[in-house]
């Protein structure tokens, strides 16, 4: 396979973007994550696994799961969000099939020639001139997308069909000069203010209620102070770390493993290289000539002793290796394009190549080290083998003990926990009183342990439960019934809540007093008389931010107030604020020319997105009303539940 070494990481990043765009298009449509209202009808009878049907075509849970797996490839989707992602994937699949239905109605289609041209753009390495390299094409599709060729081509066609609809919906949209002018002013008009902040937290610290006041507050908020049921428990833990420390691996086992895995320790002929890349993909001949001249200048610096790593960080266009001073690590024969490989493997250690031209551009290569093909000795890989064998042996032993523990509990779940712990050499510990939502930090807070404690009766033993530390058996020891709290039980919480509430009230009153006083004098004097200080930050735009306040959108009224006007008291992030407009700074008309094109592009993109989102909703709504879209809500519930489990 011909693949430039500097493209390895870039290819992966590029294909993550392509698959996200061509296959899912979820992020760009994330504002439309509603689940289409549907019903369970006869259309699902022949396929009970269908989560939806669109135009008679079923969408199954397997379809959703496959897309969800593709979306999560290379990412860590939190378990709590997988159900939401599953719904988004379903929505996108429904929309894609709805586009197919609408395309049939309009006679719109993606031709094989269009598909082939797009694939050539995505996979230029699968072609040599005008010749299609079938085997390389199939392997590149599998490597980069984890799809079969037919699945990949279908996804490309779906993406192109959506593009055609986007053009139909948005090609007539324009942005007027007046809209550009308005947006230019919105972004560039600035205002300067003077402000004072009243912080409830500062006032709350000085609130000292009497017993009667605190009791009265508590009586008004009784519902907020319920003591939930709590339980204490004991546990017996098979600690995997303790088991690991007691486990020994004989040298004979290490030797046997080494001999049976010799192929894993064979090192191919390889070379450690750094490089500087000057890209020429998509450039004209004239541009390539300029790039060559720049590359030659950098080569001359490298040849005359300039630090190669510094040159790579400054000039290289390989984003993956540039931060590392051009370091590509070890490469093996057959891993790179022929021109790069020939130069890298022929140069002696420490030497720098002349310019090497590949399909990606001009390379300057520095060889750090060579390593001939060989098999690593047992001593070299012993430190790699030992953890593998240790993990395997500990796992086998833990599973054996787990089975015996489970069998013992099945025989009787009311036997002595201490006797069980002694029999299997388990660590015994106590769990203090916890509610059904409290963490069990001593065991890594596994939810199954907490569930067992609240499902069993005192004295009963749970089945062994897996935790981060190992396998544990728990047994409730005491139940503390839930009840309405007394003031004594929650005194500190009530006091804190009372102080916060009073602090907020006092802060609002003080801010109102400040705003009123500032009308008669100036804000600075009024603030000082109340023990406050004012701040006058630099002027800011509507899209900027203000120190201690944050997003300038909160102060949007300031742009419409005349100089000198004082605001009413407003609440900002839990604090209270009063400000005075110092001055307005209108946008400089001379700056419009340099920003107009960018503003026009962004406004047009916003219009296009809004128009296509409206089309998306309208199409799905129409097909739903026509009975061409149905959603099996029961399967949806099962699907989203399994996605989060």
CATH number, domain of 288, equals: 3.10.50.40
Give me the pLDDT at residue 82, please. Answer: 77
582-591 in b/e burial notation, b at 16+ Cβ within 10 A?
bebeebeeee
Residue 326, domain extent = 269-372
Is pLDDT above 90 for 28? no
Domain contains 182: no
Q: Quick one: average pLDDT of 302-328?
A: 94
The upper half-sphere exposure of residue 103, i.e. CA atoms within 13 Å in the direction of its Cβ, equals 19
Residues 450, 319, single domain; the answer is: no
- Tell me the per-residue pLDDT of 193-203, one tens digit each, with 9 for 90 and over: 999 999 999 99
CATH number at residue 415: 3.10.50
Q: Quick one: average pLDDT of 222-226?
A: 95
Q: Give the contacts of 547 (CB within 8 A, at least 6 positions apart).
A: 535, 537
Q: Quick one: average pLDDT of 545-556?
A: 90
Residues 147, 135, single domain; the answer is: yes
Q: Which two tokens stand for residue 604?
A: 């047009």
Domain contains 254: no
Give me the pLDDT at residue 610, please. Answer: 95
Residues 141, 205, single domain; the answer is: no
Residues 362, 417, single domain; the answer is: no
pLDDT band for position 75 (cuts 50, 70, 90): low
pLDDT above 70 covers a percentage of the chain that reads 90
User: Helix-strand-coil percent breakdown of the chain, rounded to 5?
Assistant: 55, 20, 25
Residues 581, 622, single domain; the answer is: no
Lowest-confidence pick of 4-18, 333-347, 559-573, 600-614: 4-18
Give me the pLDDT at residue 26, please. Answer: 34
Taking only Cα atoms into account, the Rg of the chain, rounded to an integer number of angstroms, comes to 34
Residues 315, 435, single domain; the answer is: no
- Tell me the per-residue pLDDT of 124-134, one tens digit each, with 9 for 90 and over: 878 877 778 88
Q: H-type helices in 267-366, by residue range?
A: 285-303, 308-315, 338-346
CA distance 561 to 580: 9
Domain boundary among 433, 457, 484: 484
Secondary structure element (H or E) that encloses residue 191, with its range: strand 190-198
Q: Quick one: average pLDDT of 473-480?
A: 96
Q: Quick one: average pLDDT of 259-283?
A: 92
CATH number at residue 59: 1.10.4030
Secondary structure element (H or E) that encloses residue 477, with its range: strand 470-480
Domain boundary among 372, 398, 421: 372
Q: Tokens 């409290």 correspond to what residue? A: 438
Is pLDDT above 60 for 569? yes
Is pLDDT above 60 for 313? yes
pLDDT band for position 642 (cuts 50, 70, 90): low
Q: Which residues pair with 541 in a beta bridge?
A: 190
Domain contains 533: yes
pLDDT band for position 33 (cuts 50, 70, 90): very low
Is pLDDT above 60 for 18? no
CA distance 431 to 425: 19
Domain boundary among 484, 519, 545: 484
Q: Which two tokens stand for residue 436?
A: 């059904």
Q: What is the mean pLDDT of the chain?
A: 88
Residues 574, 612, single domain; the answer is: no
Residues 77, 134, single domain; the answer is: yes
Residue in 546, 501, 451 with CA at minimum distance from that of residue 220: 501
Residues 34, 91, single domain; the answer is: yes
Residues 350, 385, single domain; the answer is: no
- How many domains, the chain? 4
How many beta carbons lie within 10 A of that of residue 11, not counting itself? 17
199-220 in b/e burial notation, b at 16+ Cβ within 10 A?
ebebbbeebeeeeeebeebbee
Q: Does residue 265 or residue 29 have the better pLDDT?
A: 265
Domain contains 388: yes
Q: DSSP secondary-structure letter at 62?
A: H
Contact (CB, 8 A) for 89 and 68: yes
Residues 364, 397, single domain; the answer is: no
Q: Quick one: average pLDDT of 360-365?
A: 95
- Lay out the sheet containing 50-54: strands in order across: 57-60, 50-54, 629-631
Give me the pLDDT at residue 520, please. Answer: 87
Domain contains 90: yes
The upper half-sphere exposure of residue 46, i.e. CA atoms within 13 Å in the direction of its Cβ, equals 6
Residues 413, 349, single domain; the answer is: no
Q: Quick one: average pLDDT of 356-373?
A: 94
Q: How far is CA 7 from CA 126, 335, 402, in A?
A: 15, 11, 48
Give me the pLDDT at residue 74, please. Answer: 53
- Tell me the per-residue pLDDT of 162-188, one tens digit each, with 9 for 90 and over: 999 999 999 999 999 999 999 999 999
Domain contains 35: yes
pTM for the full predicted model: 0.57
């Amino acid at each position: 396979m011909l693949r430039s070494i500097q493209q390895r990481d870039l290819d992966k990043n590029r294909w993550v973007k392509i698959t996200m765009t061509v296959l899912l298009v979820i992020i760009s449509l994330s504002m439309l994550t509603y689940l289409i209202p549907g019903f369970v009808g006869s259309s699902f009878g022949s396929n009970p696994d269908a989560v939806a049907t669109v135009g008679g075509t079923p969408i199954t849970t397997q379809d959703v799961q496959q897309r969800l797996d593709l979306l999560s490839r290379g990412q860590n989707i939190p378990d709590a969000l997988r159900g939401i992602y599953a719904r988004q994937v379903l929505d996108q699949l429904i929309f894609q099939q709805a586009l197919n239905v609408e395309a049939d109605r309009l006679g719109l289609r993606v031709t094989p020639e269009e598909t082939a041209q797009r694939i050539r753009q995505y996979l230029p390495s699968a072609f040599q001139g005008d010749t299609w390299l079938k085997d390389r094409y199939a392997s590149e599709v599998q490597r980069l997308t984890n799809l079969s060729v037919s699945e990949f081509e279908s996804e490309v066609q779906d993406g192109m069909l959506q593009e055609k609809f986007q053009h139909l919906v948005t090609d007539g949209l324009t942005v007027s000069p007046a809209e550009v002018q308005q947006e230019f002013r919105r972004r560039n008009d600035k205002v300067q203010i003077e402000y004072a902040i009243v912080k409830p937290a500062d006032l709350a610290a000085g609130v000292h209620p009497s017993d009667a006041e605190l009791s009265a507050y508590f009586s008004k908020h009784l519902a907020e102070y319920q003591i939930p049921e709590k339980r204490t428990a004991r546990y017996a833990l098979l600690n995997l770390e303790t088991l690991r420390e007691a486990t020994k691996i004989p040298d004979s086992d290490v030797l046997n493993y080494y001999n049976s895995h010799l192929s894993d320790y064979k090192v191919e002929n390889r070379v450690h290289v750094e490089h500087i890349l000057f890209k020429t993909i998509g450039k004209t001949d004239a541009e390539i000539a300029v790039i060559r001249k720049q590359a030659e200048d950098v080569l001359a610096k490298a040849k005359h002793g300039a630090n190669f790593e510094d040159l790579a960080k400054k000039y290289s266009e390989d984003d993956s290796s540039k931060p590392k001073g051009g370091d590509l690590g070890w490469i093996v024969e057959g891993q790179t394009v022929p021109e790069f490989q020939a130069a890298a493997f022929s140069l002696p250690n420490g030497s720098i190549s002349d310019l090497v031209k590949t399909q990606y551009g001009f390379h300057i290569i520095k060889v750090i080290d060579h390593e001939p093909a060989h098999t690593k000795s047992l001593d070299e890989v012993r430190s790699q083998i030992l953890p593998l064998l240790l993990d395997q042996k500990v796992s086998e032993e833990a599973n054996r003990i787990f089975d015996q523990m489970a069998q013992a509990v099945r025989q009787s779940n009311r036997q002595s926990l201490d006797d069980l712990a002694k029999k299997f050499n388990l660590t015994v510990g106590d769990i203090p009183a916890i509610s059904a939502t409290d963490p069990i930090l001593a065991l890594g807070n596994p939810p199954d342990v907490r569930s067992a404690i609240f499902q069993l009766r005192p004295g009963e033993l749970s089945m062994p439960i897996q935790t981060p530390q190992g396998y544990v058996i728990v047994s409730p020891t005491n139940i503390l019934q839930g009840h309405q709290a007394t003031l004594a039980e929650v005194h500190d919480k009530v006091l804190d809540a009372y102080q916060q509430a009073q602090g907020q009230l006092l802060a609002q009153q003080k801010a109102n007093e400040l705003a009123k006083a500032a009308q008669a004098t100036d804000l600075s004097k009024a603030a000082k008389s109340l023990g406050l200080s004012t701040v006058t930050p630099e002027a800011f735009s509507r899209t900027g931010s203000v120190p201690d306040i944050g997003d300038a959108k909160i102060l949007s009224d300031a742009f419409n107030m005349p100089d000198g006007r004082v605001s009413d008291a407003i609440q900002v992030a839990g604090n209270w604020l009063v400000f005075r407009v110092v001055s307005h700074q209108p946008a400089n008309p001379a700056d419009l020319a340099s920003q107009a094109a960018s503003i026009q592009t962004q406004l047009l993109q916003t219009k296009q997105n809004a128009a296509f989102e409206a089309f998306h909703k309208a199409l799905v709504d129409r097909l739903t009303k026509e009975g061409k879209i149905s959603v099996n809500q029961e399967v949806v519930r099962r699907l989203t539940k399994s996605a989060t489990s």
